[in-house]
Structure 1
Amino acid sequence: MMKIEKNSFNKYVEENVFTTIEEYKLINENEKIMIGVSGGKDSILTLHMIHNYRKKMDLNFNIEAVCIDEGIAGYREEGIKTARKNCEKLDIPLTVYSFKKEWNYSLDEIHNLYKSTCMPCGVYRRYLLNKISDEHECDKIATGHNMDDEIQSFLMTFARNDQNKFPKFGPKLSKIHENMVPRIKPLWRLPEKDVGIWCVVNNIPIHDEECPYSVTSLRSDVKSLLNRLEEKQKGTKNNIFKSFMKTFTLKQEKVKLNSCEICGQPTAKSPCKACEMTKEISELITHQQF
């Protein structure tokens, strides 16, 4: 196993993340940044890097964190504990909000209603991340998407020919609705393996278990494929990343968003996907009971 020199590795990670933040102007003075924290390695590194960036650059901006509790028994509880532990260490306020509180059912209770459990989970998580961030009057939502995640999302979108999503790639999204909080991705150029190494060499507590429902997702298949290709030909992931950075430089169009007629959240089409899904789930649950 290759020996890692802690100080030089930490310097490399910080330079990678700080350069992305500065080059793309992800964070400005006097902003309030909400960090989506699951307890996993990516979100925990994002939490620490944004905290370190504020401290080392002597900048004035506020940081909060939110953890979405989907309601996955034996899994999410540990992630919440880890999120709390890291937030308390860095003195960052944490809000925990659940599917159960918002919709009166957990992911476990609806997991068999769809072919892939990741589909309703993704819709609901994105909805709550924006809702909580908007209610807290945050300027940005920082997520833990790393370089591998971005490559996977790109290939999934490419495979589905979902051309509307190509402009959404990149480390920063524009504000396109007064209640839509823009996303930023400080780890955008950092490989996933380096995220894991950073947590290990710095002895940072993380929740290192795979979500039990992740095997149902297309992302899981794409991730496995990319890892096999990388094992056979080192540098494959980085080449793909560089390729789509140069090829798909589509501008984020100013899409006209409306407000959902049911919940009031921003949406291109009313009702929003979350409310549409909630109605569908209610009907499916009622059908199962008879």
Structure 2
Amino acid sequence: MTAISKSKCGKCGNAFNDDELYFQKHSGTKFCKECFIKDTKRKVRKNLGKNILKNHITIGVGISGGKDSLVMAHILNEFFNQIPNSKIVGIMVNEGIEGFRNDGIEKGIKFCEEYGIEYHIVTFSEYIDSDLDSIVAIAKEKNMTMNPCSFCGVIRRKILNRVAIEKGCDYLAIGHNLDDISQAVMMNYIEGDIKKLAILGKSSQSDKFVKRIKPLSKIPEEEVKLFADILEMDYHKEPCPYSCLSYRSEVSDIIDTLEEKHAGAMYSIVAGYERLLEYLEVPESVSICEKCGEPSALKICKVCSFLKDLGLEENSKF
């Protein structure tokens, strides 16, 4: 009879079967399920800080129905349920991707209703009179070289910001994990885009932007997934059909290889970037988009520029 190998949890010290423990490669620590959940919440709480976790705060939470957004919403809801006169508000954006987005929206609705979270659903069509699938088709007809993620990202961010303002949110929470942040940093390093690097880590002070927070930015994607699976969360598992076409996907593969060979590489990328931020300056004066009247780095913001190129500007609500 083969003996069952047991090890101790590096936090509580209790012995568990090896298959019941999670080994965190970059720290060399083994966690039992309970200690892993506690440690993840501790990191998120520390990341948020006392200036956010306080009375009279409303957090808009971008919810896609995927593991990142639902884990983020779960933890934020637990925190703010203990704070008087504060709450989270779910915001779901349906881009209009056939065979994909509806399932995520359904998972998001189910989650919000289970936990009694106020939520709002908006669509691309409401704001630009077109969905993402149609935008991709138009771009193809016009031989535009931009990939779908470029269109989707800027439009979705603009819509999330609009809704967060309308709902009186003090902050807008985005479910970017450590993998996402390290990818964004590396993409801008590779492109030599110093301005984007500076903007990535510093929030605009304009009253037309709701300040963004990223509660999961110190949590690797692998651990976000483990958190969701331990709690048996019902999340949308299918990847976006357009994601494989993005430049980010290529950079992600490079970082995954680095992380596999050098555990902690993602933490190092982000830590180095955060130190670099001290020396990067963001212009205090912000331009105003000539089309929509919102803050922009250029005379015409990217959304309005895209819509003009696509021939969709006339019906835009921006």
* Same structural fold, with TM-score higher than 0.5 when normalized by the shorter chain: yes
Deviation at 1:250, TM superposition (A): 4.0
> How many aligned positions are there?
280
- C-alpha displacement of 1:212: 0.4
Question: In the alignment, what sits opposite 1:89?
Answer: 114
1:174 & 1:249 partners in 2: Cα distance? 14
The equivalent residue for 2:284 is 255
Name the stretch that deviates more: 28-37 or 211-220: 28-37
Q: Which residue of 2 aligns with 1:282?
A: 311
CA contact (8 A) 1:174 1:252 kept: no
Corresponding position of 1:74: 99
- Any residues of structure 2 matched to 1:158-197 within 5 Å, and which? 158-170=189-201, 173-197=202-226
- Structure 2 counterpart of 1:135: 166
Q: Deviations over 1:143-196 (max 9, x none)?
A: 0011111100000011111111222344xx434211111101111111111000
What pairs up with 1:6-45 in 2 under 5 angstroms?
6-22=33-49, 25-45=51-71
Task: Give the match for residue 20 of structure 2.
Answer: 3
Q: In 2, are the aligned partners of 1:6 and 1:201 still within 8 Å (CA)? A: yes
Partner residue of 2:28? none
Percent of aligned pairs sharing the same letter:
31
> Using the alignment, how far apart are the partners of 1:79 and 1:54 within structure 2?
24
CA contact (8 A) 2:185 2:197 kept: yes
Report if the CA contact (8 A) 2:53-2:80 is conserved.
Answer: no
**TM-score normalised by structure 2 residue count:** 0.82
2:298 partner SS = coil
SS, match of residue 208 in structure 2: coil
Cα 1:37–1:3, aligned 2, differ >3 Å: closer, same or farther?
same
Check conservation: 2:181, 2:217, Cα contact below 8 A.
yes
Cα deviation 1:74-119 (Å, max 9, x = unaligned): 0000110011111111211111111112111111112141431111
The alignment partner of 1:68 has SS state of: strand
CA RMSD of aligned residues (A): 2.1
2:7 counterpart residue number: none
Cα displacement (A) at 1:2: 3.9
Letter in 2 for 1:141: L
Are the counterparts in 2 of residues 167 and 249 from structure 1 also a CA contact under 8 Å? no
2:180 to 149, 155, 161: 149
Q: CA deviation at 1:22?
A: 1.2
Secondary structure class of the residue paired with 1:227:
helix
Which residue does 2:90 correspond to in 1? 65
Q: Distance in 1 between matches of 2:272 and 2:71?
A: 26
Range with bigger deviation, 105-114 or 32-41: 105-114
User: Higher relative contact order at CA 8 Å, sep ≥6: structure 1 or structure 2?
Assistant: 1
Q: What is the CA–CA distance in structure 2 between the aligned matches of 1:262 and 1:107, rounded to whole Å? A: 21
Structure 1 residues 200 and 158, CA, compared in 2 at 3 Å: closer, same or farther? same
SS in 2 for 1:47: helix
| One-letter amino acid matched to 1:230 | E
Contact 1:262–1:271 (8 Å) recurs in 2? yes
By how many angstroms is 1:248 displaced? 3.3
**Cα distance change of structure 1 residues 193 and 105 upon mapping to structure 2, 3 Å threshold:** same
Alignment partner, residue 77 of structure 2: 51
**Structure 1 residue runs without a partner (length 5+):** 285-290
Q: Map Cα deviations across residues 231-261 of structure 1 (whole Å, 9 max, x no partner).
A: 2232222222322233333466353234434
Structure 1 residues 252 and 89, CA, compared in 2 at 3 Å: closer, same or farther? Answer: farther
Structure 1: how far apart are the matches of 2:64 and 2:310?
A: 25
Q: Is the 8 A contact 2:81 2:87 kept in 1?
A: no
Report the AA paired with residue 36 of structure 2.
F
Decide whether aligned partners of structure 1 residues 233 and 251 sit closer, same or farther in structure 2, where only a CA change above 3 A counts.
closer
The equivalent of 2:316 in structure 1 is none
TM-score (norm 1): 0.89
